[in-house]
Structure 1
Amino acid sequence: MKTMIGVIGGSGIYQIDGLEGASWVKVKTPWGAPSDQVLVGRLDGVPMAFLPRHGRGHVHSPTTVPYRANIDALKRLGVTDVIAVSACGSLREDMAPGDFVIVDQYIDRTFGREKSFFGTGCVAHVSVAHPTCPRLSSACAQAARAGGIKVHEGGTYLAMEGPQFSTLAESKLYRSWGCDVIGMTGMPEAKLAREAELCYASVAMVTDYDCWHESHGAVDVATVIATLTANSSQGRSMVSRLPGLLGTDRAPCPHGCDRALDNAIMTAPEMRDPEVLARLDAIAGRILKV
């Protein structure tokens, strides 16, 4: 199997430098239009696809991002490994603005989003006990460190609905839960990537201390953008090193991300809705044989 890297760029990451033969392509999905067209090309000989999560010009709020269409579009293009880059607030003193956190756990507090490709007509339950891929996460950490970025390997991401930032009481509560960073886009993206049998790594770029930190005050967009400017160039630097680490040839994921649906489908074959199955052609075609 050949590697194809998919990058979902969050706030501040709207392009990838050095893509050979780059072109923006329109991808149709059964879940509607993705956030934007997808930039496809090659980087150091490895196929790559880049999708701006909020769209060019930042037109989608965290709630209105078409998460299902985005993941389907990447899977439909042949992506095998997804690196999600996003801005976040820090809930820990030692995770300072400018640092990168390689997320390995989530607490999902979102409530206004479709969170699964499956449902009535074809029910499935996948495990997200370990929602990110350790192999891919390790490669992201290595790539970031090679660029001189301070990296924290492992962290719990509190996914909030937004678009408002936290209240002080909420920020203190999430710290008491042991959360490390807070953001608005990590879920349901990670859950959907698992359902799509894609290896998924989350790189959270710290822009602020949320509002819990007494000496830093409340979060505002101006503060976030100022840190994003520096973080975005570091994020692109990290991405540029990934093809060399992942290579062109890809073995099966040692953690089983690419086989997540093996025992997940609950609906009996004779009871599966053909229209639902048709929508799952890219996501679950391997297991449903559609």
Structure 2
Amino acid sequence: MNLAIIGGTGLSQLEGMTEIRHQVVSTPYGEPSGPVTIGRMGGHEILFLPRHGYNHRIAPHEINYRANIWALREMGAARILAVSAVGGISAAMKPGSLCVPDQLIDYTWGRPSTFFEGDLESVTHVDFTHPYDPELRAAFLEAGAALSIPMIDGGTYAATQGPRFETAAEIRRLSRDGCDVVGMTGMPEAVLARESDLRYASLNVVANWAAGLQGDGRVDMDEINRTLGIAMQDVRRLIVRMLQYHI
């Protein structure tokens, strides 16, 4: 077993899994978001963990990212497919779009963000020039092409602190910084995977326009939930296709 899927908002359960069992994993960093689900999908055994918990109760800034990544690696994961709901900033990122980002900017603060701290023999630095694994990114895109599901290749993910949504002025700043989408969970998840030698790629589901960009500029949770409900059907199809033909 070497594939794990981390689910975000809208993907707290992975439909289509069979032979399901759950395993509680204790880590040096505390408890993960929940038991790790082990099951079969697309003919492969996989791991699944919803980062907000199975009841979607853990806020973005309170997720124990280190425990989640440590638990998945301990369970045998070598590759992680992460699914995240985001707000669209650039014109191409309209609600309902699926984006496979290739870059990110971290605006979070105060989150434990590394395994390399404390009583170390030496300081450790990891290369993070390209935060997402190119082969896993390509697999997402190839699966979309095979299923005729439109996918956006590339984009810069802005990781903000949450749990509140951003102000219109903050979104204007992110746009000036070159960000295409905004979410609250992409970091430190991605860098912890890199520190753990896990290949990691993300699929962003654009749930809404970011604050101040459309209509009265307000972020509507009902709109977000409706959009995610539709888009997650394609996400599940993509995951099955990748399992069957790429992973």
TM range, normalised to the smaller chain? over 0.9
One-letter identity of the residue aligned with 2:41? L
Match of 2:81 in 1: 83
Structure 1 position 232, deviation (Å): 1.7
2:213 pairs with 1:213: yes
How many residues are aligned here? Answer: 245
Match of 2:128 in 1: 128
Deviation string, structure 1 residues 44-71 (Cα, Å, up to 9, x no partner): 3322000011001111000001100000
Q: Indicate the SS of the match to 1:75.
A: helix
| Distance in 1 between residues matched to 2:164 and 2:180, nearest whole Å | 19
**Structure 1 residue aligned with 2:19, among 21, 30, 51?**
21
Pairing of 1:22-171 with structure 2 (within 5 A): 22-122=20-120, 123-171=123-171
One-letter identity of the residue aligned with 1:224? I
Pairing of 1:265-284 with structure 2 (within 5 A): none
When normalised by structure 2's length, the TM-score is: 0.95
Larger Rg: 1
Mean Cα deviation higher: 236-245 or 73-82: 236-245
Contact 1:209 1:216 in 2 (8 A): no
**Structure 2, unaligned runs of 5 or more:** none
Q: Indicate the SS of the match to 2:187.
A: coil
| Distance in 2 between residues matched to 1:97 and 1:7, nearest whole Å | 23
One-letter identity of the residue aligned with 2:152? H
One-letter identity of the residue aligned with 1:163? P
Structure 1 position 189, deviation (Å): 0.3
Q: Indicate the SS of the match to 1:72.
A: helix
| Distance in 2 between residues matched to 1:11 and 1:148, nearest whole Å | 24
Mean Cα deviation higher: 73-82 or 211-220: 211-220
Structure 1 position 102, deviation (Å): 0.3
Q: Indicate the SS of the match to 1:236.
A: helix
**Structure 1, unaligned runs of 5 or more:** 248-290
Q: Indicate the SS of the match to 1:197.
A: coil
| Distance in 2 between residues matched to 1:192 and 1:245, nearest whole Å | 27
Contact 1:147 1:234 in 2 (8 A): no
Structure 1 position 171, deviation (Å): 0.6
Q: Indicate the SS of the match to 1:63.
A: helix
Match of 2:238 in 1: 238
Structure 1 position 94, deviation (Å): 1.5
Contact 2:98 2:205 in 1 (8 A): yes
Match of 2:183 in 1: 183
One-letter identity of the residue aligned with 2:177? W
Structure 1 position 216, deviation (Å): 5.9
Deviation string, structure 1 residues 234-256 (Cα, Å, up to 9, x no partner): 21111111112334xxxxxxxxx
Percent of paired sites with the same residue: 40
Deviation string, structure 1 residues 18-49 (Cα, Å, up to 9, x no partner): 32321111111111111011111222332200
Contact 2:12 2:56 in 1 (8 A): no
Contact 1:29 1:72 in 2 (8 A): yes
Contact 2:167 2:211 in 1 (8 A): yes
| Distance in 2 between residues matched to 1:57 and 1:163, nearest whole Å | 16
Deviation string, structure 1 residues 153-189 (Cα, Å, up to 9, x no partner): 1110000001111111111111111110000000000
Q: What is the RMSD of the two structures over their aligned residues, measured on CA atoms?
A: 1.4
Match of 1:197 in 2: 197
Q: Indicate the SS of the match to 2:31.
A: coil
When normalised by structure 1's length, the TM-score is: 0.81
One-letter identity of the residue aligned with 1:44? G
One-letter identity of the residue aligned with 1:243? L
Structure 1 position 120, deviation (Å): 2.2
Contact 2:33 2:49 in 1 (8 A): yes
| Distance in 1 between residues matched to 2:154 and 2:194, nearest whole Å | 18
Structure 1 position 147, deviation (Å): 3.4
